[in-house]
């Protein structure tokens, strides 16, 4: 069996996409949309669904957005988890309910390892102030350190949570890095399982005005022409690179769309997602020993995509 055949076997639709899903929740009403998505995914893939609540929050995040919700969760977290799952998944209990007293990210990673989780679902609803920063930071820390893919449901994606799962169009934003390469077999498996249209996107950062390829002394019109020529040439090369990148995995039907643009990362992703009505955005992320520090920079491109996307975002750390 050659390499191409092996890779095609990796994305066989006969294999369930996910077998064991973990939903991490703070027990707030705002966490319900992410739970609805998790329950829908579990039903679609016939996967086990576990719920996790971490009782003790980290010191810097202890300012509650809703003290009443915080008091209720501390009083009976097990009961609230059972109520939430009965609301999102009528007639079927969770396959596992876990309550931990620990820092959030380490507790989530521990449960992932203990239960063999292959998908983590979290909400990044953010209701302003310190809570928004905290939830965003924890989400980004997890997606950079979790050993499994992480699906985040931001506040704008939450509006569609009660609708049937619609992955007929899957947008995969790739930088050809380790995270994207690791995510590729999973993306193709999902595309085949859902008979989806794959939108492959690569964003080329806008060419700086002071770039060395544009002479500082060139007239404005020739300089602009040179920039456009560079962008067109780079786009043509990148489209071919995208075609070559997925070619070993076999033919896809329908044919993928290849989108290459010179834009800022988040804006380019949102433009393509809107044009093709994407039901899921997939990104590779960089696994870093300093993930906890970088996670506390809320205005990164990753944070913007997680928070502002109108559909779920699936991240895979390389």
- Under CATH, to which class is 181-287+302-317 assigned? alpha beta
Dist CA 180 CA 318 (whole Å)? 7
Q: Would you state the structure tokens that stand for residue 124, as one six-digit string? A: 């990044």
User: How long a stretch of residues is the chain?
Assistant: 318
Dist CA 312 CA 165 (whole Å)? 10
Q: Would you state the structure tokens that stand for residue 53, as one six-digit string? A: 């609540």
The pairing of strands 313-317 and 150-153 is antiparallel
Q: Would you state the structure tokens that stand for residue 300, as one six-digit string? A: 């990164």
CATH 3.40.50.620 range(s) for the chain read: 3-156, 181-287+302-317
> What does residue 194 show for φ and ψ, rounded to 5 degrees?
-100, 0
Instruction: List the chain pLDDT tens, one digit each, 318 residues.
Output: 344 444 444 444 456 799 999 999 888 777 788 898 999 999 889 999 999 998 865 444 444 445 455 555 556 788 888 888 887 777 777 889 999 888 888 999 999 999 999 999 998 765 443 344 445 567 778 888 899 999 999 888 888 777 788 999 999 999 999 999 999 999 999 999 999 999 999 988 766 544 444 454 455 555 566 767 767 888 899 999 999 999 999 999 999 999 998 777 889 999 999 999 999 999 998 876 555 544 444 446 777 888 889 999 999 998
* Burial of residue 212 (number of CB atoms within 10 Å: 0-12, 13-18, 19+): exposed
Q: How many CB atoms lie within 10 A of CB 156?
A: 12
What is the CA angle 142-50-36, rounded to 5? 85
CATH superfamily of 3-156: HUPs (3.40.50.620)
Residue 176 near residue 245, CB atoms below 8 Å: yes
């Amino acid at each position: 069996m050659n390499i191409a055949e092996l890779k095609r076997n990796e994305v066989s639709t006969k294999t369930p996409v996910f077998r064991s899903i973990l939903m991490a929740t703070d027990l707030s009403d705002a966490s319900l949309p992410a739970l609805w998505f998790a329950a829908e995914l579990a039903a679609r893939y016939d996967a086990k669904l576990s719920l996790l609540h971490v009782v003790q929050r980290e010191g810097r995040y202890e300012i509650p957005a809703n003290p009443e919700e915080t008091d209720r969760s501390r009083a009976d977290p097990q009961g609230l988890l059972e109520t939430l799952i009965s609301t999102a998944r009528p007639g079927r209990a969770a396959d596992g309910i876990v309550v931990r007293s620990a820092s959030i990210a380490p507790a989530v990673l521990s449960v992932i390892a203990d239960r063999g989780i292959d998908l983590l679902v979290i909400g990044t609803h953010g209701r302003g102030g310190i809570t928004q920063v905290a939830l965003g930071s924890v989400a980004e820390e997890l997606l950079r350190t979790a050993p499994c893919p992480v699906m985040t449901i931001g506040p704008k994606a939450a509006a569609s949570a009660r609708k049937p799962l619609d992955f007929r169009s899957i947008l995969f934003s790739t930088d050809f890095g380790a995270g994207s390469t690791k995510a590729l077999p999973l993306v193709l498996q999902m595309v085949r399982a859902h008979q989806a249209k794959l939108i492959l996107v690569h964003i080329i950062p806008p060419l700086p005005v002071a770039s060395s390829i544009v002479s500082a002394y060139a007239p404005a019109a020739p300089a602009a022409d040179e920039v456009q020529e560079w962008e067109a040439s780079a786009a043509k090369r990148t489209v071919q690179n995208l075609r070559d990148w997925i070619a070993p995995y076999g033919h896809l039907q329908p044919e993928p769309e290849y989108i290459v643009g010179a834009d800022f990362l988040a804006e380019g992703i949102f433009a393509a997602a809107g044009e093709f009505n994407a039901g899921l955005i997939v990104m590779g992320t960089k696994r870093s020993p300093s993930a906890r520090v970088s996670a506390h920079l809320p205005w990164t491109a990753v944070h913007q995509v997680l928070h502002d996307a109108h559909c779920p975002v699936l991240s895979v750390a390389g």
